[in-house]
Amino acid sequence: MIMNCLSLTMVDSAADRCIHLNDHGQPCGVAISVGKEAAVLAVVVTIAKGYDLGYIWKTQDRAAEHVIGGYYLNAAQAGEPPGRWWGPGAQALGLTPGQTVQRKPYDAVYRQTDPRTGAKLGRAGGRYPTFADHLARLTAAEPHATAELLIELEREAARATRQPAAYYDVTVSFSKSISVLHASLRETSAAPA
């Protein structure tokens, strides 16, 4: 198959179907030209801020063996497989490509310290006003606040308090029809003859 044209855009994650034109009349999905026919492949990209560095250890089961269902069911049935270090950044920190991620170096990297030396990595994180800073500002503006108003000011201070994200979780998903096709092909090829 020869691909003459590729263009990647995001589509509505609530709709599991190919959408050929967006609201502006521009093509959505990946257009693959094959001869006189063309197909559109829908891709959904989600990005979420993360704050809990320990979440990965809660979803992982290092001792679990893989079960029938392959990639698509193993995580649900047996926990996520352990992560692995890859890329030049990992090598620069003394981590071997393909090495299983261990808790101590993982915590060091995400706290911006070199896992070997403890030296600080990167620039310092942003400094944002704390809950106490916001509450002090709000109560100074309302010196005669009632108990009910103080509770409301505390809620407002909590909403205004910003916490920098520890990481961003990026997930790229193909439309469900592609995922189901992939799963069925893997199971068919793994089945005994």
Give the pLDDT confidence of 79-116 residue by residue, as tens digits: 677 888 999 989 999 999 999 999 999 999 988 899 99
Structure token pair of residue 123 = 């620039």
Q: Answer yes or no: do 11 and 34 share one domain.
A: yes
Strand 167-174 vs strand 43-50: parallel, antiparallel, or unpaired?
antiparallel
Q: What is the pLDDT of residue 111?
A: 85
Q: Answer yes or no: do 4 and 43 share one domain.
A: yes
Q: What is the pLDDT of residue 2?
A: 34
Q: Answer yes or no: do 7 and 40 share one domain.
A: yes
The total of structural domains in the chain comes to 2
Place of tokens 């189901």: 180
Is 192 within the bounds of a domain? yes
CA distance linking residue 57 with residue 113, whole number of Å = 20
Q: What is the pLDDT of residue 69?
A: 57
Give the pLDDT confidence of 150-185 residue by residue, as tens digits: 999 999 999 999 887 878 888 887 777 777 777 788
Q: What is the pLDDT of residue 178?
A: 76
> What mean pLDDT value characterizes the chain?
75
Range of the domain at 150: 131-160
Q: Answer yes or no: do 14 and 42 share one domain.
A: yes
pTM over cut 0.75: no
